Amino acid sequence: MRRLTGAAAAFVVVVAVSLALAPGTIAPAGAVASSPAQRSVEPEPSDPPYPRSPGVIGSGTTRPPALSDVTEEDAAALQAAIDRARATFGLATLTVGLSVDGELGWSGVAGTAGAAGGPLRGVYPFAVASVTKTFTAAIILQLVEEGRIRLGSPITDYLPDVTVADGATVAQVMQHVSGVPDLLAPMRTAMNANPDRIWSAPEVLAAVGPSHFVPGTGFEYSNTNYVILGMLIERVTGHRYVDELRDRIIGPLGLSATSFALEPGAPYLFNASWASAFWTSASVYASAEDLVRWADALYGGFVLRPQILQRMLDFTPDGWGLGAERLHVGELTGYGHSGLLRGYSTLMLRLAGERVTLVVMGTTRQFDVPELLTRSAGGPSILDLALEIAAR
C-alpha cells in the first residue's frame, strides 16, 4: 500500500490524562448491561464438527495477496479527506487504511508527533484498544478447530480456579454474556496510582468481584472476559499469549508494525499498569496498514475455516459474535470491532456488501468514528471516496 507521509520526524504518542470512561466504554456506546429479566440468551449448543485434514492441526494462517496501490488521484483525495477530518474533529493524530476487494489498498496519516509537535512520519503504530479482542478471539477459535477447546464447555473445565466465571461456557465469555464484571471501574484508581505496576491476570480477576448475573441470562460488555480468554490460551497451549500471537498471526501475515504493548522495543503508548491489567483485551498495537491486512485475512477466510468464521459472525440480539460486533456506519451495516482506551479511538470495519475494509485510529480525544467516516467538510467524506473506488 502507498504510504503518504509528512516531513521526517520521530512520532511518539504520549497521552497524559486518561479519558474518564465508564465501565465497558472500551466497547462502543450502547453496549450496556441488561438484567436477566430484560433478555435471555439461548443455551450454547454442542460444537458442530469442524473437519480437519489428516495430519493437519487446525487451519493455520495464510497470507492474503498483497494489495496494489490506488491511483495517485485517489490517494491524494483520500489524504485530503483525512486531513479535513482530523481538523474538523480536533484530533492530534488520525490514521486511516482501506482495502477494496482485497486487491487495492491505501493508508495515510495526518497530525503531529505528540508533545514534540513535529509532523508525523509514515504510518506509525497506534494502540488498537479493544480491537485486540479480535486477535484473542481468533486464537481461541483456531484452538477450537484443533480440538483443544470446545465452545460449549465451561471455562472452569480448563481454568478451575477462575470461579468468577463459574458456569459460563467459552462461547458465553467470548460474547459477553458470562456475567463477569468489567475490570475498568474497580481497577481504575489502582491503575492510576501505580503506573509502573505489572498486574497479573489472577490479580485482575480478584479485583473485579463476583458475577453480575447468571451466565446466559444477560449481557454486559466486559474486558475481563478477554483477560480470562488470554489465560485460557496460555493454559491450553503452554505458551505465552504474545508468543501464540506472534506464531499464529503476526508472523504468518507479516504484520511488521504489530505487537504487544509490554514487549521489549514496543513504543510507549500508555503506562504499564493499564497495559498489563487490560492485557489480552486491549493491549495490542498496530498500524492502520497492518490492521487492514489483519481484517482482510480474518474475514476473508485466511485465518479460520468457513464454519468457524461463520460462528464468529453469528451475532446475538445485542449485536455481538465471538470477538466481533455488528457495526453501523451511516445507512450501511458491517462488522468488525471498535476500541477506546487512554485517548486512543479505533475502528476496524468490514463492509462485506460494498467489498470495503476500513480502519480508523485517532488520538487525544474521544470521537464518533462513524460520523468521522461519513461527515463531509469541504469535500467528499472518507466513506464516500472508499465506496466510489469500490464501485468502479
CA atoms within 13 A on the CB side of 328: 6
Q: Are 91 and 367 in contact (CB under 8 A)?
A: yes
3-state secondary structure of 162: coil
274/297 Cα distance (integer angstroms): 29
156/176 Cα distance (integer angstroms): 16
Q: Are 368 and 328 in contact (CB under 8 A)?
A: no
User: What order of strands is seen across the sheet that includes strand 284-286?
Assistant: 126-127, 284-286, 259-260
pLDDT at 55: 40
CA-based nearest residue to 149, from 229, 226, 215: 229
195 exposed, middle or buried (CB, 10 Å; 0-12, 13-18, 19+)? exposed
In the chain the first and final C-alpha atoms are separated, in Å, by: 19
Cβ neighbours of 183 (radius 10 Å): 28
Which residue do the cell numbers 491505501 mark?
A: 106
pLDDT at 267: 83
151/164 Cα distance (integer angstroms): 18
Under DSSP, the state recorded for 64 is: P
63/58 Cα distance (integer angstroms): 16
197/182 Cα distance (integer angstroms): 19
pLDDT at 270: 87
pLDDT at 365: 76
Q: Are 118 and 9 in contact (CB under 8 A)?
A: yes
Could you tell me the three cell numbers for 233? Answer: 490460551
Under DSSP, the state recorded for 116 is: G
Which residue do the cell numbers 468502479 mark?
A: 392
DSSP string, 186-223: HHHHHHHH-TT----HHHHHHHH-S-SS-TTS-B---H
Q: Which residues make Cβ contacts (< 8 Å) with residue 304, sequence separation at least 6?
A: 59, 138, 141, 142, 145, 298, 312
CATH of 40-274+301-327+358-391, one of 1.10.3720.10, 3.30.56.10, 3.40.50.150, 3.40.710.10: 3.40.710.10
Under DSSP, the state recorded for 163 is: G
Under DSSP, the state recorded for 266 is: P
pLDDT at 276: 97
pLDDT tens sequence for the chain (392 residues): 433 333 333 323 233 333 333 323 334 333 433 333 334 444 444 455 554 443 444 557 899 999 999 999 999 999 999 999 999 999 989 999 999 999 999 999 998 654 444 444 444 788 999 999 999 999 999 999 999 999 999 999 999 999 999 999 999 999 999 999 999 999 999 999 999 999 999 999 999 999 999 999 999 999 999 999 999 999 999 999 999 999 999 999 999 999 999 898 888 888 999 999 999 999 999 999 999 999 999 999 999 999 999 999 999 888 999 999 999 999 999 999 999 998 899 999 999 999 999 999 998 778 899 999 999 889 999 999 999 999 99
Segment (H or E) for 159 = none
